[in-house]
Structure 1
């Protein structure tokens, strides 16, 4: 009678797949130890978890993108641009950063702030200042691709995090099972190497 080993010899690129097939937990092979079956079941669970994580990460990424896009649209709609005049000499804050005091007039109400300006800015130059709903200076409107990057980031984090956790759990459990198998082998070798006189006593 031909065995699976003789029909499908372990060689080449098919070796890992054949090993997985031979170690399937439901295989009626008396040589498969309980620890081998536990490890096989664990590997199946990890594979299923990794596959399930793909659509879950996609769903969470889509949800994050939708929320971020709505938030950006709302924030951008509440921002307005005003033309401000530099009233003081720009000050060098770092090697590539200049700040200057500016003043503007909006709806008949003056406003002042210290904002970043370009390197060639001088007193009397006009700069664009973005104001929030309360009239306070804020950042410029965010581009729409920020929402896309947020969604992609969430999806990647969820997917990679799930895969890393699954891999660590698998490796840790396999290490424990392998240690248990070595202990069993040591015990069996000690039983085989007992002096014959001990069995006769």
Structure 2
């Protein structure tokens, strides 16, 4: 631990310049600020995403019902297939609807579809695993974006301190060159 402490600039080394200590101090402050901002931002963003996902789950589970349907028409599009299906509603009436699919479908096939007020679709209501996945992805993305901002700020700071350090180094060499060595 002592070696790590010294390598980070937290020691009383006489060869370490004041500007080095300033750089490490400001870098440490940026690290702590970045961790604080990233954690708060990730909690807020992931909380909002999770709540939205749960609302969508509940809404879709209440609105869409699974039913077995028969394919009555298939029309080819450039990348997907338009499928028209027919099914019997719970009240006994015959219904038809269309949806786009990537899967192969032929007339007469029996498929499971989800029926709701917005129409027919082949994918089921949103599962909770997707909500968890989206929440995790947004939390990680928020932390990465925040870390990137603070890392870039540190890189700009480091570049400025390096310029100052090089100017001082050149001035020290110029001052050393003016001294006469010898008799």
Q: TM-score range by the shorter chain?
A: 0.7 to 0.9
The answer to whether the 8 A contact 1:98-1:116 is kept is yes
In structure 1, the partner of 2:107 is: 123
Return the alpha-carbon distance in structure 1 between the equivalents of residues 173 and 139 of structure 2. Answer: 50
In structure 1, the partner of 2:127 is: 143
Cα separation, partners in 2 of 1:166 and 1:117, compared to 1, 3 Å: closer
Deviations 1:146-173 (A, max 9, x none): 1101110111011122222222221221
Secondary structure of 1:40's partner?
A: helix
In structure 2, the partner of 1:104 is: 87
Matched, 1:72 2:57: yes
Return the alpha-carbon distance in structure 2 between the equivalents of residues 76 and 114 of structure 1. Answer: 19
Alignment of 1:25-104 (within 5 A): 33-53=17-37, 55-56=39-40, 57-88=42-73, 90=74, 100-104=83-87
In structure 1, the partner of 2:5 is: 17
- Per-residue deviation at 1:93? 5.9
Return the alpha-carbon distance in structure 2 between the equivalents of residues 32 and 142 of structure 1. Answer: 58
Unaligned ranges ≥5, structure 2? none
Return the alpha-carbon distance in structure 1 between the equivalents of residues 21 and 106 of structure 2. Answer: 77
**Segment drifting more, 173-182 vs 163-172:** 163-172
The number of aligned residues is 176
Secondary structure of 2:8's partner?
A: helix
| TM-score normalised by the chain length of structure 1 | 0.69
The answer to whether the 8 A contact 1:53-1:162 is kept is yes
Return the alpha-carbon distance in structure 2 between the equivalents of residues 77 and 20 of structure 1. Answer: 57
Secondary structure of 2:5's partner?
A: helix
Return the alpha-carbon distance in structure 2 between the equivalents of residues 74 and 140 of structure 1. Answer: 12
- Per-residue deviation at 1:79? 1.0
Return the alpha-carbon distance in structure 2 between the equivalents of residues 43 and 116 of structure 1. Answer: 53
Match for 1:170 among 147, 154, 160?
154
| TM-score normalised by the chain length of structure 2 | 0.75
